A and B are shown apart, each in its own frame.
Chain A
Amino acid sequence: MLTLRRNRKNETGNSASLSGKDTDSETKRRGASQWAVAWRRFKKHKSGLFGLGMIVVLLIVAIFNTVIAPYPARPAPDALKPLYDGEAAQAPSWKHPFGTTRMGLDVFSEIVHGSVYTIYVAVAATLITTVLTVAVGITAGYFGRYIDELLMRITEIFLVFPSLLLILVFARIFQLGNAEPFYSFLGINIPIGLTMIILIVSIFAWAGNARVVRGEVLRLKETEFIQAEKSLGASSWWIMLKHVFPNVLPQIIVLATLSMASAVLVEAAVSFLGFGDPNTYTWGRLMEESYSDMSTTWWSEVFPGLAVFLTVLAFNLFGDGIADALNPRLRE
């Protein structure tokens, strides 16, 4: 049995992480749960681990932003201290690692404070997108027939339409009716404009993912254990919650990680084009503010963009890593 398996693997030569030695250890620990196996596989995925490391750094920066940043966040008057010290529009130096803007803001501090919004965008947008993905994907796939037909037609419209165009229109309309900048919840100031953008971005992000989940559910529906549950008289909701959902969960986790990457990217784009929340200084906003100065103080434009790039890269690398770790076709 074991030799046979090893042969097949050598033919396909699929995953570098599966050398002959690992096969033995994985077979021995067959009792381990699929998550433990996945984690073991993930630990060998170098670029995936690198992505995870970058995400951890981002989280630390966001949590300790007030400690790490040498200057406070706007609207605190001290945010403009470099201006009063006569240090506006300075190139990167030891005191200002990413330089200062023409307005007299320390670019490094601004990026550190902006990381909080980046995390908020990534997490909130992904939560909403995932709920929509799961609801549409599982319902369409499981119930099939006219429900599937209807949901898939709606999905197609969302999929086909260049979403950035409509996101801009919605963002602009919400900007008009923006009365209160913040909503205070449990002592945390939640930026309303940014939340609206997150909502809009999420509403246009679920369609592709829902199609993937639906396909997976369609495949599951034909498996024997689901058929057995059905013939035992289990209700549709029970089967969906207890059997279908746990089995599409790996797929959903992968899609969710990749959604984080695209949410951060789209929010940065919307803000950069000037349709963002005027009260929150996200990285895209910082780029918009410095856009007209890029021929002189290029650092105030380049570093916030670099932060966006590295964050999106981190989520994508991490997502690829878990996709490989959870892919049953690559698994022993």
Chain B
Amino acid sequence: MSFFGFDTTLPKDRGHSSNAPGFGHHDAFAGLGGGAGDDDAIDFEETYDGLGDQLDEMDDAFNDDTFGSAPQNVGKDFDFAGQTSQIAGTIHEEQMLFQARQPPPQQQQKPPIPHASKPTRTGYESYNNPEYIPQLEARADIWGLKPKQPAHQQQQHAPAPARKMMSLEEVEAMIRSQAPPQHSQQPTQAQAQAPAPVSHPHQFPHGQPQYPSAPGQFAPQILQRPQQHHAQAQVPPQLRQQQQPVHAELAGQPVHTQAPQHPTILQRQRQQNEPHVQPQRHAPTQAQTQRPPAQPRQILQNPNRLSGHGQPIQQGQIGPRGPGHNRGPSYPGMVITHPEQLMALSAEERASYLEEDAKRAKRNHKIALLAKDNGLMTPQDKNFITRIQLQQLMSATGNLDEKSPEAAIAEDFYYQVFSQIRGAPRQNPQQPANQFAQTYLFQTNSRFGPRRQGRGGDNHMQRMEQQVQRAVEAAKAKPKGKQLVIEGSLGKISFSNAKTPRPLLNLKRAETGDKHPKHPKSSVAHRKDTLRNIEAVYMTLMHIEDHDRTLPSPINEDSPPEAIQSHMEWRTKVEALHKKLWQDIKIMEPINPQSPTPHPFISILSHAKGKKAIQRIFRHIDEQERITVVTMIVVHLDQLPVVSHAVATPDEPLSPAMREEVDLFLQTVMPPLFAHISESPLNIIIGLLGLILDRTNMHVVARSKVGMDLLTILISRAELLKQSAPEINPSDWEQWTELYNRLFDAIEPVLPVIFPGNANDTGDMYVWQFLAAMGVGASPEQQQRLVIGVKDRVMETVAVSKTLPTDMASARLANVNLFMRAIGLDVELLG
């Protein structure tokens, strides 16, 4: 029951008996009777004004005479009502169509009903509503249904317009009696032969042609078709029997098509009607039996279409696809389009043909099963999916391009190099990627490898390669738009992938540069310049190192020209990079003693990372350039921060930061210098020592650890050369001795202050080393002066060492002994 108590079941659901005629089909008032008991329902009795009761129903006896119930008996000359009733449906349809096409101004065209007399107020104005279509369908009664109540037949022979009134009365009667409707009994005889909607065009009173050209006239035809089909489904068996011969001939063509037009119309109509016709033809389950003439066509059409279409044979219908999708027969040989052809063949041929046909059908069936989902994805779709998969693969493995270690190093520099230097802590992080890539490649190979003969496999591999290439390009192109701002939205959408996770902080940096105009003299600008120089040095160094890795295989005379060519190119690049490095370290900048800022190269050395770079620079420069570097450092020795700011006194030891700087310098810059000096000939040593004596402040140099170390290196190298190669030019020795004397004279005044701390400090070993080096080369007189100079310190240290634990004391005494032994003494003698 519905909320309002109306009967909500649709008329078709109500399952009325097929012999219930007329209004029984759309019993609009059936709910009223049933719903009367409900409180909410509107009681018809209460709302009805009772005018209908005043009608005199007794005098209906002569209605037949008035309106003419039997057109056969009455002459048709004036039987307008009868004729009109016959076309009432059509007129309605047309009305509807016309309104549908030209919605607004169609009200003046009234439905044909009004010309029947009608109560002024019926309460059923919906009957005037031109949209009241169900009535048309309800007229199935004229299809020859048996009259249910012969008693009423006399009254109800009237055609449609009259029937309207009758219906009203019947409704009233029904309501009054609370009985089922008993209205609209229809005569069966005359009208049964004419299917109501489709036959109307024949009976247009104006004699219009069947397919009139007037606008709006073609439409009924379209409307008719489903109706006709509907009617067919409903026609009683005998009528269907009657129609079918014709029907079969025309294959779904409406029965009344003109005969001469058969061929063309047949084609067109079958196409249009296919959805309706096919089920009839191919569904044997329908009670309808196929008549012989139809069979051959079925044979011919079905397999062919299926073979072309790739549909399973069981699907009995092609219908919804429409004929446009059908292709021709797929077999090239014998094409049989007419059953007659088949008949004309000999028995064997026919047998073989049929056999072949069966085979073909079987094969087609198989193909159809396999290819059931073919064509679901377009090539573009597949492309798209493949690309996504490849992209995923690439970002998952990190480097699909395992072949190029360069790319791997670029992406994963720290890990790769760290692993090479220290040995990977574990192979695992690398291994899965490798395995994955291998698995992937192996799969591809095993699948397409065996088939590789011919172009097929190659083609596929090529395509895969292209695919990968495209994927890589797409992946490269993608990060360009890292954000998407949808118009009107408040936020941004950031894209991210495994390689470039979405940045949580997106800082926009103002364009650097000219905001702070350079103050060339300011120390800040100088510092920045220096730092920039250092970075440039490092970049060049890395480029050189990268380039070194790409060293092509060594060449000989037999090498192919390409190898030689690549080798030449490599060499050229090395030279270019080398040149760039040389410029980057700024060592060739002219020395300007008056400049307030130190030389750019020395500035580089004042930064920790600059110091660290020296070792790497030395690896890439040649001998001459190394001499230049050493010379440059030596010349500016007292300008180096690690020398000028690293003069410690017992009262004022070095700050930890400066000590760190000094240590770093000793660890990074000194070793290459030492390595170079320890291989240099005497003249170089003489030149360097001369530079130190001439150009630097010896007091500063001698009091700093770095300076003292450098002096020690130079002196000891000279001493070594003297001992190992005494045959060297004696003039050089003279020169050296002269220099040594100058150095001794310069050092002697500062001997008491060259120790960085008091005797308790342990970090004075380098001083003892220096003294030892000086003592070795000193004349006896100079040795005497040396001992006098450091005598106090020696005694102090020996005294301190006596208070210390044995191991520490021995270490201190060993330091002292370095010097003592150099001049032929020993601390033991002092004890």
Do the two chains bind? no
B interface residue numbers (CB < 8 A to A): none
Binding site for B on A (CB under 8 A): none
